[in-house]
Amino acid sequence: MKTILVVANETLGGAKLFDTVRDKAQGGDARVVVCVPRNRPKHGNIIYDDFVFDAAKVRIDLARRFLRSEGIQAIGEVGDPDPYSATMDAVLEHHPDEIIISTYPATSSGWLRRDLVERIEDAVDVPVSHVVVDVDAEGLPFDVTLVAANRTASADTLLETLKGKASGERQRLFIIVVPQEGGEGSAAARARARMAQVVDRAVAEGLLAAGMVGDPDPYTAIMNALQHFRVDDIVISTLPATRSGWLRADLIERVRKQTNKPIEHVEAQERRPAAA
């Protein structure tokens, strides 16, 4: 089986890149390895290093699920922040038969300013393809919804809302951000468990979804996610107004004013485990 290594970050969702992968994986005898070097967001204070790792992993999970939905075998890994080191680490581990490197156009690509493609071509003895993706001009071949939820993350009301949004003509991807409550380790573990549960339920319903744990402040968590991902709209799920700290902090209006993106508010009850 042929192994194709794909190295990309913010251009991973570009139509031109996916078309190139499809062409090279024709016949079903190829395995795609997606490598995403970590990067840092530009907004807010990142308290948890896990956020940076999670953001890269979300790209990988969505790319894997998108490719698998088209019959292409795909795995992925989060790479070193340096794209050259990330690529060479992946080469040593997976022994690819060819490499695809996806970047922004030369005018806006930090990878090209560092001669990434030429350096990798000099270091390996397999074919290296360079795909230029101008996401700003071309857009994405699917819609992307950012979902922010915590205690209501696993509520049936939220899941039904996401299923309704996925019923349109264009394929839709969901990025689910669960802000953790407080800075202690147990809060992070609870948030990660909630995130995993809602992603598992969404995937079981056939949705293309991936998730991450965010900053304890939901506004900062949303704005950090928007620095990593291009989204078309936002869903914010809260407890009822009488119990919701997010609504008391005017979260929805603050996000709407800052982003100018369509926001859907889902009011739900916390889903508790059934009694034994």
Name the band, by pLDDT with cuts 50, 70 and 90, for residue 48.
Answer: low
- Note the CATH architecture for domain 143-267: 3-Layer(aba) Sandwich (3.40)
pLDDT of residue 46: 45
Residue 271 has pLDDT above 70, yes or no: no
Total-model pTM: 0.87
User: In 10 A of CB 229, how many CB atoms?
Assistant: 19
pLDDT of residue 228: 86
Distance CA 89, CA 153 (A): 36
For the chain, the farthest-separated pair of C-alpha atoms sits apart, in whole angstroms, at: 63
Q: Which is more confident, 53 or 103?
A: 103
Name the band, by pLDDT with cuts 50, 70 and 90, for residue 85.
Answer: very high
User: In 10 A of CB 16, how many CB atoms?
Assistant: 16
- For domain 2-138, give the CATH number: 3.40.50.620
Name the band, by pLDDT with cuts 50, 70 and 90, for residue 276.
Answer: very low
pLDDT of residue 186: 81
Q: Is residue 76 within 8 Å of 34, Cβ to Cβ?
A: yes
Distance CA 109, CA 252 (A): 34
Find the mean pLDDT for residues 225-237. 94
Residue 158 has pLDDT above 60, yes or no: yes
- Are 2-138 and 143-267 the same fold in CATH? yes
Average pLDDT in the chain: 90
pLDDT of residue 190: 87
Q: What is the DSSP string of 92-151?
A: HHH--SEEEEEE--TTT-HHHHTTHHHHHHHH-SS-EEEEE--HHHH--SSEEEEEE-ST
Residue 217 has pLDDT above 60, yes or no: yes
Q: Is residue 140 within 8 Å of 172, Cβ to Cβ?
A: no
The three state secondary structure string of 162-224 is: HHHHCCCCCCEEEEEEEECCCCCHHHHHHHHHHHHHHHHHHHHCCCEEEEEEECCCHHHHHHH
pLDDT of residue 213: 92
**Domain chopping of the chain, boundaries:** 2-138, 143-267
β-bridge pairing 208-214 and 233-238: unpaired
